[in-house]
Amino acid sequence: MIIIAGRIFIDPAKRAALLEATKPLQQATRDEEPGCEAYVFAGDPCEPGTISVYELWTDAPSLAAHFLHENYFNMRKTFQEHGITGAETMKYRIDAKAPVYNAQRIATTDFD
């Protein structure tokens, strides 16, 4: 699994319009691109000029295909058209996963 997480920066007055413009592209990526488990760009409730990014991909080939897909190019174009001022995104390769809560409904850091 691969997670992409980060932040996109924009004038707070432009954020709502940008998020609305990206909704069809977020949905298209989820619906059309194999290996996409999550694709979310959402306003940070504590930072008005920030959009939080969360993507979950099943594997590297799926993510590579996304980077060549029309949805990816259209998302980048939409960001540019709405005047983002910067971005910080990272990709993470995941080697383990487990539920946050155990059978007793207690949050743990365990992966077994």
8 forms beta bridges with 51, 87
- Split into its structural domains, the chain has a count of 1
Structure tokens of 61? Answer: 């080939």
Q: Is residue 98 part of a domain?
A: no
Query: Are the C-beta atoms of residues 37 and 57 closer than 8 Å to each other?
Result: yes
Give DSSP secondary structure letters for 44-63: -SS-TTEEEEEEEESSHHHH
The domain that contains 64 carries what CATH number? Answer: 3.30.70.100
Domain of residue 9: give its range.
2-93
Could you read off the pLDDT tens digit of each residue along the chain, which spans 112 residues? Answer: 999 999 999 999 999 999 999 999 999 999 999 999 999 999 999 999 999 999 999 999 999 999 999 999 999 999 999 999 999 999 999 999 999 999 999 999 999 8
Farthest CA pair distance, the chain: 49
